[in-house]
């Protein structure tokens, strides 16, 4: 059996890939991210990941002010060499072009909240690298969702300290996610048991 040649895009250019390259590379696997100039490929997700995303997405949509929109698995340009794909983002309504749904990315300045549901394969990126990228891009709010021993989500909520450009923990929510920022939110996290 002869090995198939690797596509050209497997080999990064000198200095790494840029945020714009992600839209120009043909046949990339779905949900490919760009972190620090390197392509990152996503492994298949476990059921908890999907259910937690759905629970939070539907909860966010039900509380969303008219000036905001929720999107799932869309990349965010945080700098020239990084375009991570949060599991969920809340963006300014104005970031969505009138009459179009062809966008492949959002600008960091249009993102109000980035949400990462931790997966075993991407735990280090989800917990360490991505929050740093989001903070440096001045995304005001960040949530990190972990699976607890009882199978429910624990949502760690963070707010940006604009002076230090780092996130400060504002709470860890287990059974209910009730917040007043970035807008009024009340989500029953125990609903995941019935999904």
pLDDT of residue 57: 98
Residue 3, pLDDT above cutoff 80: no
Average pLDDT rounded to a whole number, residues 93-107: 88
Check if the beta carbon of residue 57 is closer than 8 Å to that of residue 50. Answer: no
State residue 98's pLDDT score.
82
Q: Please determine, for residue 100, whether its predicted confidence score (pLDDT) is greater than 80.
A: no
Query: Each residue of 70-84: pLDDT tens digit?
Result: 999 999 999 999 999
Write the DSSP assignment of 75-135 as a string of letters.
EEE-BTTBB---SEEEEEGGGSPTT-----EEEGGGEEEEEEE--GGGHHIIIIIHHHHHH
Statement: residue 1 has pLDDT above 70: no
Q: What single-letter DSSP state applies at residue 189?
A: G
Euclidean distance between CA atoms 117 and 49, whole angstroms: 6
Evaluate if residue 195 carries a pLDDT over 80.
yes
Burial of 121 (0-12, 13-18, 19+ CB in 10 A): middle
Average pLDDT over residues 103-115: 96
Question: Cis peptide leading into 182, omega within 30 of 0?
Answer: yes
Give the pLDDT confidence of 20-51 residue by residue, as tens digits: 999 989 888 888 999 999 999 887 788 999 99
DSSP state letters, 29-80: PTT-EEETTEEEPPPPPPHHHHHHHHHHHHHHHHH--TTEEEEES-EEE-BT
186/60 Cα distance (integer angstroms)? 9
pLDDT for residue 168? 98
What span, in angstroms and rounded, lies between the C-alpha atoms of 170 and 181? Answer: 10
Q: How far is CA 103 from the centre of its chain?
A: 16
- Mean pLDDT, range 93-113, rounded to an integer: 91
pLDDT tens digit string along 113-168? Answer: 999 999 988 999 999 999 999 999 999 999 999 999 999 999 999 999 989 899 99
- Residue 18 banded pLDDT, cuts 50, 70, 90: very high
């Amino acid at each position: 059996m002869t090995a198939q040649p690797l596509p050209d895009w497997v080999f990064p250019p000198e200095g790494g890939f840029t945020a714009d390259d992600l839209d120009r590379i043909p046949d990339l696997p779905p949900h490919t991210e760009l972190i620090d100039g390197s392509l990152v490929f996503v492994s298949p997700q476990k059921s908890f990941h999907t259910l937690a995303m759905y629970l939070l997405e539907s909860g966010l949509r039900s509380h969303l002010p008219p000036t905001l929109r929720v999107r799932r698995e869309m990349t965010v340009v945080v700098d020239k060499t990084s375009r991570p794909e949060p599991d969920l983002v809340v963006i300014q309504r104005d970031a969505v072009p009138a009459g179009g749904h062809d966008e492949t990315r959002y600008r960091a300045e249009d993102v109000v909240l980035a949400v990462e549901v931790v997966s075993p394969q991407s735990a280090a990126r989800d917990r360490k690298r991505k929050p740093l990228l989001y903070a440096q891009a001045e995304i005001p709010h960040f949530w990190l969702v972990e699976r607890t021993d009882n199978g429910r989500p624990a949502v760690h909520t963070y707010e940006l300290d604009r002076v230090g450009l780092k996130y400060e923990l504002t709470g860890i929510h287990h059974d209910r996610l009730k917040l007043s920022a970035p807008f009024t939110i009340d989500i029953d996290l125990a609903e995941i048991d019935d999904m």
